[in-house]
Amino acid sequence: MMNWKVLKTEKDYTHATNRLMDIFHAAEGTPEAEELELLLVLVKDYDDKHYVLPSVNPLDAIKYKMEERGIKAKDLEPLIGSKGHVSSILSGRREITLKVAQKLKNYFQLPAEIFLFQ
């Protein structure tokens, strides 16, 4: 196990991610598993500081998935509720509740992060 420190350079980051991939399937309770846990924190910290992911509008993601699957608004009624409720959400007049976001996330297999910052 190496003595890891906060990742400050791209070289440090690359070295850490390579090591992380090498020990990714480490058995629980082993020194490699502890190292993996630390590396995950260090790599996430570096990612958060150096890479900005583009924000995605949840409605755009939902509409894209609907188009991709050939789904109409009426097909979402069993998930969301009445025709009016579905229409209000898809038009942006009504916010997506946590309960609805969970259902849409699962139905469309979207990452939960899309719904975090509406």
Residue 40 lies in a domain: yes
Task: Give the pair of three-digit tokens for residue 112.
Answer: 């939960």
**59 within 8 A of 91, measured Cβ to Cβ:** no
Based on the fold, state whether residues 45 and 64 are members of the same structural domain: no
**16 within 8 A of 42, measured Cβ to Cβ:** yes
What does the alpha-carbon distance between residue 105 and residue 58 come to, in Å, rounded to a whole number? 10
Based on the fold, state whether residues 66 and 27 are members of the same structural domain: no
Residue 1 lies in a domain: no
| 42 closest CA partner among 3, 79, 75, 74 | 3
C-alpha 45: how far from chain center: 16
Based on the fold, state whether residues 67 and 43 are members of the same structural domain: no
pLDDT in tens, 41-77: 999 899 889 987 677 889 999 999 999 999 999 999 9
Q: What is the value of pTM for the model shown? A: 0.54
Q: What is the mean pLDDT of residues 3-23?
A: 94
Based on the fold, state whether residues 63 and 44 are members of the same structural domain: no
Q: Is the pLDDT of residue 117 over 60?
A: no
Based on the fold, state whether residues 68 and 110 are members of the same structural domain: yes
Q: What is the mean pLDDT of residues 31-43?
A: 92
Domain span at residue 42? Answer: 10-50
User: Would residue 65 be called left, alpha or beta, if left means φ above 0 and alpha means ψ between -120 and 50 degrees?
Assistant: alpha
What does the alpha-carbon distance between residue 57 and residue 67 come to, in Å, rounded to a whole number? 16
Q: What is the pLDDT of residue 60?
A: 93
Residue 37 lies in a domain: yes
Q: What is the pLDDT of residue 45?
A: 92
Based on the fold, state whether residues 64 and 107 are members of the same structural domain: yes
Based on the fold, state whether residues 104 and 67 are members of the same structural domain: yes
